[in-house]
Amino acid sequence: MSFTWPWALSALLAVPLVFAIWWLTRRRRRRAAIRVTSVALVRVALPGRTRWRRWIPAALLAAGLLVLGLGAARPQATVPVPMDSATILLSLDTSGSMCSTDVDPNRITAAKEAAADFIRSQEGGPRIGLVTFAGNAGLVVPPTEDTQALLDALEGLITSRGTAIGQAILTSLDAIAEIDPSVAPIGADPVDRGEGFASSAIVVLTDGANTQGVQPETAAQEAALRRVRVFTIGFGTTTPAPMVCDGRQFDGGFGFGRPGGGGFDRGRGRLAIDEGSLKEVADTTGGAYYRAQNADQLQAALGKLPGTFTVVQENVDVAAWFAAIGGLFIASAVALSLWWNNRPSGGIATVRATGGAPGRGG
């Protein structure tokens, strides 16, 4: 918790001051009390209040003054607040290795299904854009709230040669800059917007290492300058497997349509994720790296992401709550004090009736 006006905490000094005045007042009352010689008469005159009844109003009053004193300093609480205009760029690897069958039925199909589930789960929420990358990176769908347009685009993905992770990040940054004025496009000087992150993020899903174009670490520096977080996902296993894609999933230049046909990385059928690079990209931008070896883990990784960057921590002024609680405490103290102190007491009436010099008849 922080305070907008910390100097106002000096108002808390009123609490010991009030109780000092109260103590002095009680002391003077005791000095002015009438002396009586009959202990029995005093016992009858007492109203019968227990000690805790005397202290409860005082404790409530002290609590109320303390809370009001804190409220005067305008306290602020850090609370999670959903972003109103978050943007997510899904950047999917469509290199030839995505035809590997180590993930059933193959990586590209599992990735498409997980991305489709993610997009459906965010319907009515943040805008989502789609970037694909192999040897080059391209914006397939600009950030939109049109869920069907995104799903249709996923169905049309095809694999190709190469893996341009860095270029995919830069392409995603430019797509964000088109709709978010707080994010400068590539080539323009980033605008200093203070601390914190932009309301946009990039998710990079890949099963390999950068082979073409700008290095991912260089692209990550550009994203960090624009306060855009990049979340990376390494997908696939280390088990060699045949690469099989149907006719709709490859561009015709690989021969992936039959088991064992074609290959990637010169025929090696094993995973070659550059995890060090992906972790560095995430660390540089304030994102996170996830490892997914099957479809379930991939869906779980994507499912964790929305709460990470579509909800931000904001400072909210809670002075009104402190004023309400402090006022309630003080009102309760006054009400209890009036109720207990004004209750009729037969003993007090007896003292008034027999008051005067001891030993004398009425």
Q: CATH number of the domain at 252, please.
A: 3.40.50.410
Look at 246 and 200; give whichever has higher pLDDT.
200
Count of the separate structural domains present in the chain: 2
For 199-211, the pLDDT digits (tens) are 889 999 999 999 9
Q: Rounded CA gap, 23 and 27, in Å?
A: 6
Q: Is there a single domain that holds both residue 189 and residue 211? A: yes
Q: Containing domain of residue 142, as a range? A: 84-309
Does 361 map to a domain? no
Q: Rounded CA gap, 131 and 203, in Å?
A: 10
From the CB of residue 359, how many other CB atoms can be counted at a distance below 10 Å?
7
Does 360 map to a domain? no
Q: Is there a single domain that holds both residue 141 and residue 162? A: yes
Q: Which of 17-26, 110-119, 133-142 has the lowest mean pLDDT?
A: 17-26
Residue 258 is predicted with a pLDDT of 41
Q: Is there a single domain that holds both residue 192 and residue 326? A: no
From the CB of residue 334, how many other CB atoms can be counted at a distance below 10 Å?
14
Q: Is there a single domain that holds both residue 323 and residue 187? A: no
Q: Is there a single domain that holds both residue 40 and residue 118? A: no
- Amino acid at position 138, single letter: G
Does 207 map to a domain? yes
Cβ proximity of 120 and 147 under 8 Å: yes
Q: Is there a single domain that holds both residue 65 and residue 176? A: no
Does 362 map to a domain? no
pTM of the model: 0.63
Q: Is the dihedral angle over the CA atoms 164, 170, 171, 172 positive or is it negative? A: positive
CA-CA distances (angstroms) from residue 174 to 179, 183, 204, 336, 337?
Answer: 9, 9, 15, 66, 68
Q: Rounded CA gap, 256 and 267, in Å?
A: 12
Q: Is there a single domain that holds both residue 321 and residue 182? A: no
The arithmetic mean of pLDDT across residues 313-337, rounded, is 75
For 12-39, the pLDDT digits (tens) are 666 777 667 766 776 666 555 555 555 5
Does 194 map to a domain? yes
